[in-house]
Amino acid sequence: MTTDPYTRIARMLRATALAVAATALALVVCVAGPSGPAGATSYVPVTGDGSSWSAGALDQWIADVHADGIQINYTSDGSTTGRNNFITGQSDFAASDIPFQTNPGDGSAPEHPQAGSYAYMPITAGGTVFMYNLKINGQRVTNLRLSGANITKIFTGAISNWDDPALAADNPGLQLPNQSIVPVVRSDGSGTSFEFTQWMISQNPGLWNSYCSKAGRAPACGSTSFYPTVTGMIAQNGDLGVASYVSQAFASGSIGYVNYYYALASHFPVVQLLNSAGYYTEPTPQNVAVSLLQDKVDTTDVNNPALYLTQQLQGVYTDPDPRTYPLSSYGYLILPTKVGSSFSTAKGSTLAAFAYYSMCQGQQQSAALGYSPMPINLVEASFAQIAKIPGANVQSINIQGCNNPTFTPTGVNLLAQTAPYPPACDKQGPTQCTTGTGGAVAVVTPVSRTSTAGPSSTTATGAAGAAGAAAASTAAGGGTAGSSSAATSQTCDPTTGACTPTSGSTGSADPSLAPTAETATLATATGWSTTQTLLLLIGLVLLALMLVPGLMSRRLERKRSP
């Protein structure tokens, strides 16, 4: 961690105060906003468009606030279109995964929003996943694991067959088929494409640059919203287009990038991506929360709209926490900060109420949709941004009324703090979990041991029962002590039934959600184990403690009174 969260929050609070002060004057004139929450009928319709990555959550919040008399019209047409429509005043707000591209590195036209016309506000946290359609002997694979380098090679054409030995190294339990890989990318201007290419450029620049040249883009090989394609690649429109393609029977062998939400809805598995700690993870709400602790969100100058609250994802890519999902990121709203063209304070009041709802109560719905609730530091920082919307009712934008599920009194993200650790079988090495991922969490993929010389399955099974309770408490302790101690807890959990090829007992448990601790608890819950034995022993000892002195004294007394 680079900045102390407490200083960060303090800084954020100062920023909030500044912003409040700055806008207060203007707001006095046009107050009128919904003073009491109930019966606030002064809302007016507001229109926006953009990101399909965030659309799953936005659509939900729009449906939620409809009951409160708020009408938000949102079109999921991609981040690039969203930003352009905002610039040209065709919308009241935009949703975009990335900031305005004032100096694009991919040769596209620069974007120039009017000075002082906007503010960024992170609104969704989630993971970009690789949804895939792969079968081995007719059986759907649901536990595919890949390193970042291998993902990059797949999306730059360096690996084109599933039986490539490099992929086998990630998947010791799978006999990947001799089948062409069909990468599926976005055809429209997409913030997801931008962030994906940014990650590849950061982590595997050589691979990307040679691909970029091959695709005819050089020298403009910076991060791009318009994914360069070559023969053999499929380009589809929006997250829905990519998910639609990958989920078809004819798309066997395909792999495409979408927000986690779409893979869940399609009931398709997602790649477990290798992180710096050597674990293959998926972007569960908890994992995303952990990952984004390393997302450096700019908080240097609340008055610099071009930078304030933008994200620097480098730290996420290399975060050593075993729970990290490297392609976690925030999705943003671009909020208007100026009354102009057709944007009024009445609209501002409504938009501010919607934005506040989204950051607070709305985040309660995030996890069920595959997003991760926003942490308190960004919620508070966002309040400063919401307050910049002309017409925002600043009095009502406060942390007290904010029912966000991640809050704790100490300011630490509850979700990140309690995030379970990955099971041992998700560690890079000879074992591979059998449990499914993403929307196919309940579908087990059997793994074979023939290809590797890992620890024998019997060893793993034998260790399970005995070490269960110990591992559980270690993992929990590691979690609270802070992510730095993660390394100790990861080494001490040789358990999890998921690892063992015997029995399909993992049917209902998702290993990435179910930490070792969970597995242990489940084990205790279902049968007699160490914990029960211990409890019984303690009980007996206590009973003895209770009765022995009395009885002893009686006996002693008897002896004493002959």
Q: Which residue has the tokens 């059998």?
A: 434
CB 456, min distance to another protein, A: 28
Selection from 230, 126, 135 nearest residue 185 by Cα: 230
CB 319, min distance to another protein, A: 19
Q: Kindly identify the residues of this chain, within the stretch 502-521, that bind another protein according to CB under 8 A.
A: 508-510, 513-515, 517-518, 520-521
Specify the residue, 16 or 187, whose C-beta has the smaller distance to another protein. 187
Here the tokens at position 339 are: 């009354």
The only residue of 373, 390, 422, 497 in contact with another protein, by rule CB under 8 A: 373
Measured from the Cβ of residue 230, the count of other Cβ atoms closer than 10 Å reads 12
Here's the x/- map for another protein, 291-330, by CB under 8 A: it reads as ----------------------------------------
Specify the residue, 65 or 167, whose C-beta has the smaller distance to another protein. 65
Q: Kindly identify the residues of this chain, within the stretch 10-29, that bind another protein according to CB under 8 A.
A: none
The only residue of 2, 4, 29, 39 in contact with another protein, by rule CB under 8 A: 39
Residue 492 as a binder of another protein (CB under 8 A): the answer is no
Q: Kindly identify the residues of this chain, within the stretch 337-356, that bind another protein according to CB under 8 A.
A: 340-344, 346-347, 353, 356
CB 97, min distance to another protein, A: 18
Residue 383 as a binder of another protein (CB under 8 A): the answer is no
DSSP 179-243: -B-EEEEESS--HHHHHHHHHHHHH-HHHHHHHHHHTT-TT--S--SS----TT-EEESHHHHHH
Backbone conformation region of residue 309, classed left if phi is above 0, alpha if psi is from -120 to 50, else beta: left
Contact by Cβ (8 Å): 349, 391:
yes
CB 141, min distance to another protein, A: 16
The only residue of 9, 442, 454, 492 in contact with another protein, by rule CB under 8 A: 442
The only residue of 94, 384, 469, 523 in contact with another protein, by rule CB under 8 A: 469
d(CA 72, CA 47) in angstroms, rounded, equals 6
Here's the x/- map for another protein, 74-93, by CB under 8 A: it reads as ----------x--xxxx---
Residue 367 as a binder of another protein (CB under 8 A): the answer is yes
Here's the x/- map for another protein, 278-297, by CB under 8 A: it reads as ------xxx-----------
CB 83, min distance to another protein, A: 10
CB 147, min distance to another protein, A: 26
d(CA 379, CA 63) in angstroms, rounded, equals 21
CA dihedral of residues 43, 44, 50, 53 (deg, nearest 10)? 30
d(CA 512, CA 143) in angstroms, rounded, equals 11
Here's the x/- map for another protein, 217-256, by CB under 8 A: it reads as ---------x--x---x-xxx--xx-xxx-xxxxx-----
Backbone conformation region of residue 65, classed left if phi is above 0, alpha if psi is from -120 to 50, else beta: alpha
Selection from 394, 415, 397, 395 nearest residue 406 by Cα: 415
Sheet holding 234-236, edge to edge: 72-76, 46-50, 93-96, 328-336, 118-133, 254-259, 182-186, 234-236
Residue 35 as a binder of another protein (CB under 8 A): the answer is no
Upstream peptide bond of 219 is cis (omega within 30 degrees of 0):
yes
CA dihedral of residues 498, 502, 508, 509 (deg, nearest 10)? -10
Total residues interacting with another protein, rule: CB under 8 A: 133
Q: Kindly identify the residues of this chain, within the stretch 164-223, that bind another protein according to CB under 8 A.
A: 187-188
Which one of 125-133, 145-153, 294-302, 546-554 is the stretch in contact with another protein (CB under 8 A)? 546-554
Residue 480 as a binder of another protein (CB under 8 A): the answer is yes
Residue 537 as a binder of another protein (CB under 8 A): the answer is no
Residue 476 as a binder of another protein (CB under 8 A): the answer is yes
Q: What is the C-alpha end-to-end distance of the chain, expressed in Å? A: 74
CB 232, min distance to another protein, A: 11
Q: Kindly identify the residues of this chain, within the stretch 94-153, that bind another protein according to CB under 8 A.
A: 109-112, 114, 138
Residue 361 as a binder of another protein (CB under 8 A): the answer is yes
By DSSP bridging, strand 182-186 and strand 234-236 are parallel
The only residue of 69, 320, 454, 501 in contact with another protein, by rule CB under 8 A: 69
Which one of 18-26, 322-330, 367-375, 423-431 is the stretch in contact with another protein (CB under 8 A)? 367-375
- Distances 321 to 282, 484, 519 between C-alpha atoms, Å: 13, 7, 20
